[in-house]
Amino acid sequence: MSNAFDEAQQQLRRALAVYPVSDDLRARLAHPEREVTVSIPVKMDDGSVKVFEGYRVQYSSLRGPYKGGIRYHPDADINEVRALAFWMTFKTAVAGIPMGGGKGGITVDPKELSRGELERLSRGWVEALYPVLGPERDVPAPDVNTTPEIMRWMADEYAKLTGDSRNGTFTGKPLDYGGSEGRGAATGAGGFDVFKALQAELKLPKSVSVVIQGMGNVGGNAAKIFHALGHKVLAMSDSKGGIYSPDGLDPDAVENYKKENGRLKGFPRTKQISNEKLLELPCDVLIPAALENQITKKNANNIQAKVILELANGPTSTEADDVLFKKGIAVIPDVLANSGGVVVSTYEWEQNLKGEHWSEKEVLKKLRMLLTRESKNVYSRSKKLKTDLRRAAFALALERLEGALKTRG
């Protein structure tokens, strides 16, 4: 079972030591408000019925409707989803958007399902959970292994079951189905905005070298943006391993190669590298963009990056945080670094409810302004509290959560 929730609570305890809050808020943040586990029967292509386990954890609604993605993964379990929902509570507060924290999941390896089975499973998740969802209640989005197409099926199923045609319950939908411009690349683009906002403060050179673990929605888009804006992407990877070139990679060419060959191995003029070794490459910015618990006390001492930009959720353990802090490696925490996705998801929800369509330029400009402001806010708090960026980001979130609790009375 995942220990991600213990890690998340440990992060909270460490933040509370530098930024104490009321006993009321402290007690609330130790538990999710609601957890639902459901069984989803799916008719398989061979006529048999298979039952999958699905989840929705609604951690906190203090600042607005629950918001957070849905993960499809063989290792997804209630403990992992609870941790992810907890982090969403802090992420929406750091970003200052009017949302709470939630997360969902299904224990499944989607690569083993046909397209039809995947659609029936996704619609089944909605059928089992729709009474606790809704634009004013809980607004899910994509996460690992969930795509705009899956969001379309889910949004369609929700509309069928409830008759609600506003289309504001799921975000990350395709553009022709109420999605927002800019949502696809938002987490990677937002990560770049956060990096830019802190580049000078963290004494990074003008043009940086970058190593990226994971090349899905988040890692793939981050690689393309860093490359397009004049930085050197030294290494990229997927679940099977990575490739490395000291001369730099062209992320579009790498992605096309993977599409054609189904793997990264054999990409011209590169060396193969394991996901473990990739994390230890010398570089300016290391970007974990895959799964939790990648940088731990086992390998923290071997990290040679100057800065870690956490685009995955929970990639660094608290023990590793301490080692990295001592080594002078700044960790830009997930709750700030990867918040671009939920910010643009919230813009999508707002556009759906108001019946508007904003241009990509407008969306990305709003995102950049918000993330620049909140990145500087987190940085100045870390100086004021004499602490690392993770505790500082949590402190900012705690201040906003406490404010919401007081207003509610």
Q: How far is the CB of 372 from ligand NAD (least distance, A)?
A: 18
Residue from 209, 316, 338, 352 touching ligand NAD (CB under 6 A): that is: 338
- Tell how strand 209-213 and strand 232-238 pair up: parallel
Residue from 54, 142, 168, 182 touching ligand NAD (CB under 6 A): that is: 142
Q: How far is the CB of 326 from ligand NAD (least distance, A)?
A: 26
Q: Looking at 91, 103, 173, 258, which residue is catalytic?
A: 103
By CB under 6 A, is residue 270 in contact with ligand NAD? no
HEC profile of the chain = CCCHHHHHHHHHHHHHHHCCCCHHHHHHHCCCCEEEEEEEEEECCCCCEEEEEEEEEEEECCCCCEEEEEEEECCCCHHHHHHHHHHHHHHHHHHCCCCCEEEEEEECCHHHCCHHHHHHHHHHHHHHHHHHCECCCEEEEECCCCCHHHHHHHHHHHHHHHCCCCCCCCCCCCHHHCCCCCCCCHHHHHHHHHHHHHHCCCCCCCCCEEEEECCCHHHHHHHHHHHHCCCEEEEEEECCEEEECCCCCCHHHHHHHHHHHCCCCCCCCCEEECHHHHHCCCEEEEEECCCCCCECCCCHHHCCEEEEECCCCCCECHHHHHHHHHHCCEEECHHHHCCHHHHHHHHHHHHHHHCCCCCHHHHHHHHHHHHHHHHHHHHHHHHHCCCCHHHHHHHHHHHHHHHHHHHHC
Q: How far is the CB of 224 from ligand NAD (least distance, A)?
A: 13
Residue from 4, 118, 185, 215 touching ligand NAD (CB under 6 A): that is: 215
By CB under 6 A, is residue 371 in contact with ligand NAD? no
Q: Is 361 annotated as catalytic? A: no
By CB under 6 A, is residue 311 in contact with ligand NAD? yes
Residue from 129, 289, 363, 398 touching ligand NAD (CB under 6 A): that is: 289
Nearer to ligand NAD, 338 or 352 (CB): 338
Q: How far is the CB of 351 from ligand NAD (least distance, A)?
A: 17
By CB under 6 A, is residue 108 in contact with ligand NAD? no
Q: How far is the CB of 145 from ligand NAD (least distance, A)?
A: 4
By CB under 6 A, is residue 317 in contact with ligand NAD? no
Which residues are bridge partners to 20 per DSSP? none
By CB under 6 A, is residue 309 in contact with ligand NAD? no
Nearer to ligand NAD, 144 or 295 (CB): 144
Q: How far is the CB of 288 from ligand NAD (least distance, A)?
A: 8
By CB under 6 A, is residue 154 in contact with ligand NAD? no
Degrees, nearest 5: CA angle 340-345-347 = 95
Residue from 54, 110, 124, 341 touching ligand NAD (CB under 6 A): that is: 341
The site map against ligand NAD for 219-258 (x = CB under 6 A) is x-----------------xxx-------------------
Residue nearest to ligand NAD (CB): 216
Residue from 89, 169, 213, 387 touching ligand NAD (CB under 6 A): that is: 213
Residues that bind ligand NAD (CB under 6 A): 142-145, 187, 213-219, 237-239, 275, 289-291, 311-313, 338, 341
* Residues catalogued as catalytic: 103
